[in-house]
Amino acid sequence: MAVTVASAPAKIILFGEHAVVYGRPAIAVPISQVRAEAIVEDSLRSGIRLRAPNLGREYWLNEAPDGDPFARAVQSVLEFVTLPNLPDLTITVKSMIPIASGLGSGAAMAAAVIRSLALHLEITDLATDEQVSTLCYQVERLLHGTPSGIDNTVVAYERPVYFVRQQPTNRIDTFSVAAPLHLLVADTGEESKTWDVVGDVRRQWQENPKKFELLFDNCGRMANEARIAIQEGDPERVGRLMHENQGYLRAMTVSSEKLERLIAAADSSGALGAKLSGAGRGGNMIALVEEENEDEVRSSLLATGANSVLLSVLT
């Protein structure tokens, strides 16, 4: 029986979270060391069986609850199938990516499922980076309400991305990294509910548009300056911009006590820069370090209460 496997990486946002929803640029990068994997197998049992062993779930596609993201990822591909009868399949998702931590676990799962199922059914047009990103965005809308579009883009293309949400089509630029960037990703252990945080920022923006438009403008400026610094191989400047960006995120009220403690720990142990990544109010923070002090910063983050610390080297 045929078996098809595809995977997608986690992601982190370096600059521009929240502001990206309002048309400002953002920079995000894949964390290729941490992935979600989807396995599609022909089955002897009638129907399509969905398995998520990490979550202890196994169920039939036609019995999936409304709003189930796994089922929606599968259905997004099947809507394009012109077969007289749907195939009998078992689709298994396994993930190393922590849930609700700002690492794009939902987008990575969806992208892996969409690509593996499209390849298994030999619908090659749907397996391209562009189409996987497009279908993944539809699943993200189910999860997050008004997603920026950045998560699906990064996990589908698996390259550093400069992203601007705009009409009629989003601007998506991949770009090179002139000098390696060593990033430590520290998990606060506090769940970050993207939908809730994004909705609260929208509420504050509606109540005080002048203040928040200025904050968004400044975050967009950070992203533009950071892209230049990354392309010119200037990690010290990237670090300074991370600190400045964190100040604007703090003003949006999306930081937290735990995030601030970890950021302070990274600073005091020699990080070039540190900030939250993603929706905030939990989830992850990131620290830009030099190779020689990576271990010292990691130890400081763990001693301050980080649940785990991942290393991602962008080259």
Model pLDDT, residue 70? 94
Domain with CATH 3.30.230.10 in the chain: 3-174
Model pLDDT, residue 184? 96
Domain with CATH 3.30.70.890 in the chain: 181-314
Q: Is 151 a catalytic residue?
A: yes
Model pLDDT, residue 55? 87
Class of domain 181-314: alpha beta
Model pLDDT, residue 141? 85
Model pLDDT, residue 100? 67
Model pLDDT, residue 143? 74
Model pLDDT, residue 101? 67
Q: Is 243 exposed, middle or buried (0-12, 13-18, 19+ CB in 10 A)?
A: middle
Q: Could you say which of 42, 88, 129, 151 is catalytic?
A: 151
Secondary structure (H, E, C), the chain: CCEEEEEEEEEEEEECCCHHHHCCCEEEEEEEEEEEEEEEEECCCCCEEEEEHHHCEEEEHHHCCCCCHHHHHHHHHHCCCCCCCCCCEEEEEEECCCCCCCCCHHHHHHHHHHHHHHHHCCCHHHHCHHHHHHHHHHHHHHHHCCCCCHHHHHHHHCCCEEEECCCCCCEEEECCCCCCEEEEEEECCCCCCHHHHHHHHHHHHHHCHHHHHHHHHHHHHHHHHHHHHHHCCCHHHHHHHHHHHHHHHHHCCCCCHHHHHHHHHHHHCCCCEEEEECCCCCCEEEEEECHHHHHHHHHHHHHCCCCEEEEEEEC
Model pLDDT, residue 215? 98
| pLDDT values of the chain reduced to their tens digit, one per residue, 315 residues | 799 999 999 999 999 999 999 999 999 998 988 999 999 999 999 999 999 998 899 999 999 998 899 999 999 999 888 777 888 999 999 999 877 667 888 999 999 999 999 999 999 999 999 999 999 998 988 877 777 788 898 999 998 899 998 988 889 888 889 999 999 999 999 988 888 999 999 999 999 999 999 999 999 999 999 999 999 999 999 999 999 999 999 999 999 999 999 999 999 999 999 999 989 999 899 999 999 999 999 999 999 999 999 998 988
CATH topology of domain 3-174: Ribosomal Protein S5; domain 2 (3.30.230)
Q: How far is CA 38 from CA 26, 58, 66, 93, 307, in A?
A: 28, 14, 21, 5, 26
Specify whether the CB–CB gap between 18 and 214 falls below 8 A: no
CA distance linking residue 181 with residue 238, whole number of Å? 9
Model pLDDT, residue 112? 98
Model pLDDT, residue 102? 72
